[in-house]
Amino acid sequence: MRGPHNIWRLIRTGATFIRTGAMHQALEAMDTPPRLRAVAYAISAPFAWLGYKGDPELPPVTRAITALGPAYIKFGQVLSTRPDVVGDELADQLRVLQDKLPPFDTGIAKRMIEEELGAPADRLFMEFSEPVAAASIAQVHSARRADTGEKVAVKVLRPGIERAFRRDLDAFHFAAGMIERLSPASRRLRPTEVVKHFESVVLGELDLRLEASAASQFGANTKDDAGFLVPQPAWNFSAKRVMVLDWAEGLPLGDREALIAAGHNVNLIGERVLQLFLSHALRDGYFHADMHHGNLKVAANGDILAYDFGIMGQIDEYTRRVYAEILMGFIQRDYRRVAEVHFEAGYVPADRDVDDFALALRAVGEPIFGMDAEHISMARLLAYLFEVTERFGMQTQTQLILLQRTMVVVEGVARSLNPTINMWEVARPVVEKYIRENLGPRAALNDLRRTVQVLGRFGPELPELLKAAIRRQTEEPPAPVEPKGWRYAALVAGGVALLLIGVLLGELI
């Protein structure tokens, strides 16, 4: 119910932002219209005393968000992937949100396990620890299964979290609608769209079966990736509010000194993290979109372990090919080709000049190639690229924004392990392999075979479709333009021809 009762919640939110000193920074970062800023201050300032104080050790915006509770923390995390909305500086601040909250009682967690799995936790697990991690939506316990003795991670949703999130989501929707009504200029910030995006992410995370499914899919995609492991769910021990995964034992990726002391090659690990991310994004179109230090470990044998699959990114095959061609064009410093790819993909309006766009892209790429290896950054290049394409009228590509944001995180991880890493040299073999397999003659044949397979499903209907098209043509009077019936018949005939080609290809390949 997005009614006036939400006003009190919004006043409390604004009061907290005022009290923590976060209001100015947040409004400035999002380039909020002056009228909307005035309204925000007018409503919130008189009630500043009602705001939460938060942790004074944290930066202002992070301090305000953590003080407001789990829904706001998760909202901040999601916004950290949208620098197009909040700006780069605030996105960086939000990215380091510490999702550490006081844990809830282990007894409550055990009761929830019994409710969800239909058996007491003490019967299902021979060991069950106190919480080892507590986040905004759930907490994690280590346990040992009674049936197999296997050590597992048990993730349990916070009690009442669904209701709390729905209440705050209601307030977020109400606020977005008010903002758009009070300030039409603010619509360029797309507040309603941003809240809908957040809602889709959160509702997925509130059903742990979906996260288990993400882990399962990610694991299937990456099972042949040497030196990379994804803990898999125990489906018969997982439900909406409880998820059980293989235990991921290893050193935190953020502890460089401990990794070196354990004998690991941190330079190689840094390169591997970057190559794995690019491989997942390009090869599979399905990547871990929250691949920071806290979600990665290194096993004793050097394998990289990933976990926490609440935020995953997806890119369709066509977008992957466009992205790979753009990256390869920059690697080869072929700015004309990069420009042509943007036009061919429809990212830049056709009425713009391709040569002017190529010159603008050269201004993006050349300064980066003039940098020392340790300063070369694909994430920085993509950020500059989006600035230029925006000037040329490119519509925001949400899936590429998430990809670019994750690239920033992954680069940060790689550089923390190897400060002198050359991003281009590390990325080049992954991009070249993808292009070789997906943009060459073999890829064209595979595309044709898939097209034939689709047309093949309509094979039994083709004779009747052809008869109907010819019949309509003989019954209709001649038209001054190309006859619709013959055009349709030509399409059907083309389908038949493709089927024959497909048969031949099947014999040859």
Token couple for 468: 């109907």
Query: How far apart (Å, rounded) are the C-alpha atoms in residues 10 and 234?
Result: 41
Query: How far apart (Å, rounded) are the C-alpha atoms in residues 402 and 472?
Result: 50
Which residue shows structure tokens 């009425």? Answer: 351
Catalytic entry in 290, 308, 353, 447: 290
Torsion of CA 188, 360, 313, 2, to 10 degrees: 0
SS3 category, 291: coil
| Cβ–Cβ < 8 Å for 55, 66 | yes
Q: Which of 412, 403, 195 is nearest to 295 (CA)?
A: 412
Query: How far apart (Å, rounded) are the C-alpha atoms in residues 476 and 488?
Result: 14
Tell me which DSSP letter residue 233 carries: B
| Cβ–Cβ < 8 Å for 431, 325 | no
Which residue shows structure tokens 């019949």? Answer: 471
* Proportion of the chain in helix, strand, coil states, percent, rounded to 5: 65, 10, 25
Q: Residues in the chain, how many?
A: 509
| Cβ–Cβ < 8 Å for 357, 339 | yes
Query: How far apart (Å, rounded) are the C-alpha atoms in residues 43 and 184?
Result: 19
Q: Read out DSSP for 448-467?
A: HHHHHHHHHTTGGGHHHHHH
Token couple for 352: 């713009």
Run of H or E including 245:
strand 242-246
Q: According to the 3-state scheme, what is the secondary structure of 92-114?
A: HHHHCCCCCCCCCCHHHHHHHHH
88 annotated active-site: no
SS3 category, 149: coil
Query: How far apart (Å, rounded) are the C-alpha atoms in residues 330 and 364?
Result: 9
Query: How far apart (Å, rounded) are the C-alpha atoms in residues 46 and 422?
Result: 52
In this structure, the strands spanning 138-145 and 151-157 are antiparallel
CB neighbour burial string for 309-344, b if at least 16 within 10 angstroms, e if fewer:
bbbbbebeeebbbbbbbbbbbbbeebbebbbbbbbe
Which residue shows structure tokens 């919640």? Answer: 9
Which residues are known catalytic residues? 290
